[in-house]
Amino acid sequence: MSIDTDTARRVAKLARIKVEDDALPALAGEFNAILGFIEQLNEVDVDGIEPMTSVTPQRLKRREDVVTDGGYQEKVLANAPDAREGFFAVPKVVE
């Protein structure tokens, strides 16, 4: 895949980045270099390789998923300007 100056202009517009017309060829070249690197990465055979969380093998620490705090609904809702049926009430913003 090759990026031309029109595509580079469109990408810059979508990213809301102001790029002068004389800088578009260089930007297109940078995009092409990035895409070339990605194509090189796609050529690497990774079948049978486990995903890693780090470059050094380690096991992530796990904890039991239990509720250790809570039950303060009345105290939390006491701070609400408007609370109904146990929830914060907010004005309707979408019609």
Task: Give the pLDDT confidence score for residue 4 in this predicted structure.
Answer: 93
Helix, strand, coil % in the chain, rounded to nearest 5:
40, 5, 55
Which residue stretches of the chain are H helix? 5-14, 24-42, 73-77
Q: Name which of 83, 63, 64, 61 is nearest 74 in CA terms.
A: 83
Q: How many domains does one find in the chain?
A: 1
Task: Give the pLDDT confidence score for residue 31 in this predicted structure.
Answer: 95
Tokens of 83: 């609370």
In a domain, 28, yes or no: yes
For tokens 């303060």, the residue is 72
Query: pLDDT tens for residues 49-60?
Result: 888 777 887 777
Segments forming the whole domain that contains residue 22: 5-42
In a domain, 19, yes or no: yes
Mean local confidence (pLDDT), 18-43 = 94
In a domain, 82, yes or no: no
The pTM for the full model equals: 0.51
Mean local confidence (pLDDT), 21-39 = 95
Q: Are 24 and 9 in contact (CB under 8 A)?
A: yes
